[in-house]
A = this chain, B = another copy of it.
Amino acid sequence: MKIEKVHITKSAQKLIQDVPALKRAYAEITKSIKSVTWPAGSRKFTINNSEKNINGVVPLKESCYVMLEKNYSWFREKPLKVLKEEKEKGGPIDVYKEFADNSPLALKRVGLEFETGNISSAHRSLNKLLLGQNRKELDLSVIMMPVKALAYYLTDRVTNYEELEPYFENVKRAAFIFIGFDADAYDPSAPIIPKGPDGMSTRSIKKWKDL
């Protein structure tokens, strides 16, 4: 996969420049999305573009998350305290990691969501990641989406980067990175990506556990 579009808010830019741990976090995320290939065993990502909405999208997310978990020790399903304990409602953050840079005071927490739902679901992710920052539970938030050109061949109504883009400015004072990824190649004879969560082998995920 390749990264086609990126939007980094000013404070996220400053964090990546000034904090080595967060520069590393961003590198881990970009490497993970770039590592997603198709078909299995290929060195690049080729999408079947024979028909609109023909491919699934969940297997892409799973591939990216597996890489984050296995190679870089990220955790899955991190609940925000504000939602779980205080408000007692709302789901966890998809993927999460704490970076310490050898100092507990320097603890930095990054939350990531890879959007495979529709546009309104992406708005919910955005608001959840913002709430986490407002409540000092997250330092940096990342939202990953296919660009519009790729989304055309993925599950119907999956959020695309361009569709959420008008709202990036709503969080301009927070630390957000928006990543729009695209296939390396389009080929009508490429295998079709299966739809649904069973596209890749089932496995146990590394869930976050509060100490």
Binding site for B on A (CB under 8 A): 82-83, 86-87, 89-90, 117-121, 123-124, 126-127, 130-131, 134, 162-163, 165-167, 169-170
B90 and A166 contacting across the interface, CB-CB below 8 Å? yes
Sorted from nearest, which 9 A-B pairs have the closest CB atoms? A87-B166, A123-B123, A120-B120, A123-B124, A120-B124, A120-B121, A123-B127, A127-B167, A130-B170
B130 and A166 contacting across the interface, CB-CB below 8 Å? no
Contacts of A167 on B, CB cut-off 8 Å? Answer: 127, 131
The 8 Å CB contact of A87, one of B118, B121, B165, B170, is B165
CA distance in complex: A21, B128 (Å) = 34
Residue of B nearest to A88 (CB): B166
Q: How many copies does the complex hold?
A: 2
27 pairs across A/B with beta carbons < 8 Å? A82-B166, A83-B166, A86-B166, A87-B165, A89-B162, A89-B163, A89-B166, A117-B120, A119-B124, A120-B120, A120-B121, A120-B123, A123-B123, A123-B124, A123-B126, A123-B127, A126-B127, A127-B127, A127-B167, A127-B170, A130-B170, A131-B166, A131-B167, A131-B169, A131-B170, A134-B169, A134-B170
Contacts of A90 on B, CB cut-off 8 Å? Answer: 166
Chain B nearest CB: distance from A111 CB in Å?
A: 15
Contacts of A170 on B, CB cut-off 8 Å? Answer: 127, 130-131, 134
CA distance in complex: A124, B87 (Å) = 20
